C-alpha cells in the first residue's frame, strides 16, 4: 500500500493511503506481521491505529505512529475526558535490563525485514508488544474504566502526507533536516516525488481473535 509517486504537483494534492477495516471491535487479540512500513521521510505520517466512530468518546489506540524523520515509535491512547491511566511500577530484581527496542519502527524495522506487533485489548487493559519484549501496557485501574472509554474501534493503516502533525509549522520548522529542504511540508511533498518511493506498507498478515 503505497502513496502516489508519479503525479507531478496535482491540484488536489498527492494521493495518500487510508485503509479501514469493515468490522469494528471491542476487545480482541490483534497480530500484525509487517514486512515493511513507510520510512522516516520528511512530509510522511504513517500510522497503524484503532479508532472509534465518535472521537474521542469511543477511543483511539495508536499502535504505530510517527512523522517526518522520527526514528522511534510513538504509542498513544486518546479518550474522552475523565480517563487517567494509572500504571504503577514494580521492582522485580536488582538487575538492570535494557528493554528498549529500536528495531520496531520505520527504517530500523525495514532493515530488520519487519516484525510482529501484537495488541491485546481486554475489559481491564490494553497491551502492545513488538516481539519479543513487551512494549506498552495501559492498565485502567481506578483512573480509567477501559470498557467505558474504548468501544467499537476499526483497525486502520494509513500514510498521510503532511497533515496537522507532520505538516504543522512547529513540527516542520523544528526538524532541521526537513526545514532545510523546504520552508513548509506541502511545498516539499508537491515537488519531491522521488523522496516517497519507500513510503509504503507491505503486510504479510493481520490476524484478529475476538
Whether residue 89 is predicted with pLDDT greater than 80 in this model: the reply is no
> What's the pLDDT tens digit per position in 138-192?
888 888 999 999 999 999 999 999 999 999 999 999 999 999 999 999 999 999 9
CA dihedral 48, 54, 58, 62 (to 10 degrees): 20
Those residues with Cβ within 8 angstroms of residue 27's Cβ, 6 or more apart along the chain or in another chain: 121, 122, 123, 210
Of 49, 54, 170, nearest to 117 by C-alpha is 49
Q: How confident is the model at residue 7 (pLDDT cuts 50, 70, 90)?
A: confident
Residue 142 maps to a domain? yes
Total of domains in the chain:
1
* pLDDT number for residue 166: 98
Q: How far apart are CA 203 and CA 183, in angstroms?
A: 34
* Domain of residue 123, residue span: 17-85+100-209
Residue 1 maps to a domain? no
* pLDDT number for residue 100: 59
Place of cell 484503532: 50
* pLDDT number for residue 127: 94
Among 8-12, 104-108, 143-147, the least confident range: 8-12
Average of per-residue pLDDT across 69-88: 90
Residue 7 maps to a domain? no
Question: Cα 118–124–130 angle (5° rounding)?
Answer: 15
Whether residue 56 is predicted with pLDDT greater than 60 in this model: the reply is yes
Beta strands in 140-179 (DSSP E): 153-161
Catalytic positions, please? 60, 65
> What's the pLDDT tens digit per position in 112-143?
999 999 999 999 999 999 986 667 888 888 88
Residue 95 maps to a domain? no
Percent residues over pLDDT 70 in the chain? 91
Residue 131 maps to a domain? yes
200: domain CATH number? 2.60.120.200
* pLDDT number for residue 201: 98
Whether residue 205 is predicted with pLDDT greater than 70 in this model: the reply is yes
Residue 175 maps to a domain? yes
Q: Which three cell numbers stand for residue 71?
A: 526514528
Q: Is the peptide bond before 132 cis (omega within 30 degrees of 0)?
A: yes
Residue 2 maps to a domain? no
Q: Is the peptide bond before 100 cis (omega within 30 degrees of 0)?
A: no
Amino acid at each position: 500500500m503505497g502513496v502516489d509517486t508519479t503525479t507531478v504537483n496535482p491540484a488536489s494534492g498527492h494521493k495518500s493511503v487510508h485503509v479501514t477495516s469493515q468490522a469494528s471491535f471491542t476487545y480482541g487479540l490483534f497480530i500484525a506481521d509487517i514486512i515493511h512500513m513507510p520510512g522516516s521521510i520528511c512530509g510522511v505520517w504513517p500510522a497503524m491505529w484503532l479508532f472509534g466512530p465518535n472521537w474521542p468518546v469511543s477511543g483511539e489506540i495508536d499502535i504505530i505512529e510517527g512523522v517526518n524523520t522520527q526514528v522511534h515509535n510513538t504509542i498513544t491512547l486518546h479518550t474522552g475526558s475523565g480517563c487517567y491511566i494509572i500504571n504503577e511500577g514494580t521492582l522485580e530484581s536488582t538487575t538492570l535490563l535494557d528493554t528498549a527496542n529500536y528495531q520496531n519502527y520505520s527504517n530500523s524495522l525495514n532493515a530488520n525485514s519487519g516484525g510482529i506487533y501484537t495488541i491485546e485489548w481486554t475489559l481491564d487493559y490494553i497491551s502492545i508488544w513488538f516481539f519479543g519484549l513487551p512494549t506498552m501496557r495501559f492498565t485502567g485501574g481506578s483512573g480509567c474504566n477501559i470498557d467505558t472509554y474504548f468501544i467499537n474501534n476499526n483497525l486502520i493503516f494509513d500514510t498521510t502526507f503532511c497533515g496537522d502533525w507532520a505538516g504543522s509549522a512547529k513540527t516542520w520548522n523544528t526538524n532541521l533536516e526537513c526545514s532545510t529542504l523546504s520552508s513548509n511540508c506541502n511545498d516539499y511533498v508537491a515537488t519531491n516525488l522521488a523522496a516517497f518511493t519507500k513510503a509504503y506498507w507491505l503486510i504479510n498478515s493481520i490476524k484478529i481473535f475476538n
